[in-house]
């Protein structure tokens, strides 16, 4: 069998980068660095992105982990920490939908469910071909909850212009960094090199030594640094412009629900 990453590339996915998350230990921000004290939730001036979650494994602990509370925590995390080291929020996020195993099974694309339960590798290829809006969101950010039995990596990137993250279910349950790291990839960031041991410099959320580039001189911090922010904004604005033209009745209905409340 081909390694999963290669299989995914061959099935037409553009994997921006990968990360098993085991290399760098998140370091608590020190001093005045922003730690998510404020939320972008009510910042109507910022682009709003929908979050669509998809269960891509039938591992029972993974299924049990995708509770409404956990999805809300992730929405809140992104509203707080998808931001610069100085606390400039870069976007707002709102849950659009969750495609459970049952949703997939009863959908117009049951082959995705079949692939999950039969442990075949066609699930992501089938996913991106699916036209059912309950299964595949036609706009916004897609977050897959993935198995980890043969591949513990999490991934972030884009497929035909759609930003996505595939999150190992163990990390999905409790981690913060993996969401900020993989969405960083989905918004155009590559890996920054971890600080040299003993240098006393801070880690950055995009740290990963494989294929890394050093941060710009003078930049440091856990969240996105100025040069990273610039890249994120460029990609963000391109996504927002494109998504505004896409008809998505599910998202329209979520937004009108919010207004009525
Ligand atoms: Zn990475």
Residue ranges covered by each domain of the chain? 4-16+42-254
pLDDT for residue 3: 46
Say how many Å lie between the CA of residue 100 and the centre of ligand 1. 26
Neighbours of 257 (CB within 10 A): 9
Q: Can you give the pTM of this predicted structure? A: 0.89
Q: What CATH number has the domain spanning 4-16+42-254?
A: 3.40.390
Say how many Å lie between the CA of residue 199 and the centre of ligand 1. 22
Pairing assessment for the beta strands 162-168 and 48-55 based on DSSP bridges: unpaired
Q: Give the tens place of pLDDT for each residue, 159-168.
A: 999 999 999 9
- Going by pLDDT thresholds of 50, 70 and 90, the confidence category of residue 147 is confident
- The rounded distance, in Å, linking the Cα atoms of 152 and 19 is 9
Say how many Å lie between the CA of residue 252 and the centre of ligand 1. 32
Say how many Å lie between the CA of residue 205 and the centre of ligand 1. 9
Say how many Å lie between the CA of residue 218 and the centre of ligand 1. 22
Say how many Å lie between the CA of residue 34 and the centre of ligand 1. 22
- The rounded distance, in Å, linking the Cα atoms of 101 and 112 is 9
Say how many Å lie between the CA of residue 7 and the centre of ligand 1. 18
Arithmetic mean of pLDDT, 14-39: 64
Output the six-digit token pair for 11. 């099935």
- The rounded distance, in Å, linking the Cα atoms of 133 and 131 is 6
């Amino acid at each position: 069998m081909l390694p999963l990453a290669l299989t995914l590339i061959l099935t037409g996915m553009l994997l921006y980068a990968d990360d098993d998350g085991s290399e760098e230990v998140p370091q608590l921000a020190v001093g005045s660095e922003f730690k998510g004290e404020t939320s972008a939730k009510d910042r109507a001036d910022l682009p709003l992105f929908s979050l669509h979650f998809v269960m891509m494994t039938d591992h029972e602990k993974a299924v049990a982990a995708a509770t409404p509370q956990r999805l809300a925590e992730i929405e809140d995390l992104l509203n707080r920490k998808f931001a610069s080291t100085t606390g400039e929020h870069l976007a707002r996020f709102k849950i659009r939908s969750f495609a459970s195993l049952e949703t997939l099974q009863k959908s117009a694309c049951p082959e995705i469910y079949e692939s999950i339960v039969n442990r075949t590798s066609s699930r992501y290829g089938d996913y991106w071909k699916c036209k059912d809006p309950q299964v595949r969101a036609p706009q916004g950010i897609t977050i897959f909850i993935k198995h980890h039995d043969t591949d513990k990596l999490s991934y972030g990137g884009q497929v035909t212009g759609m930003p996505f993250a595939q999150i190992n279910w163990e990390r999905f349950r409790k981690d913060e960094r993996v969401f900020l790291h993989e969405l960083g990839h989905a918004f155009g960031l590559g890996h920054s090199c971890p600080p040299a041991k003993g240098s006393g410099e801070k880690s950055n959320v995009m740290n990963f030594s494989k294929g890394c580039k050093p941060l710009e001189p003078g930049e440091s911090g856990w969240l996105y640094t100025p040069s990273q922010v610039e890249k994120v904004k460029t990609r963000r604005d391109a996504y927002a412009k494109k998504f505004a033209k896409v008809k998505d009745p599910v998202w329209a209905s979520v937004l009108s629900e919010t207004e009525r409340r």
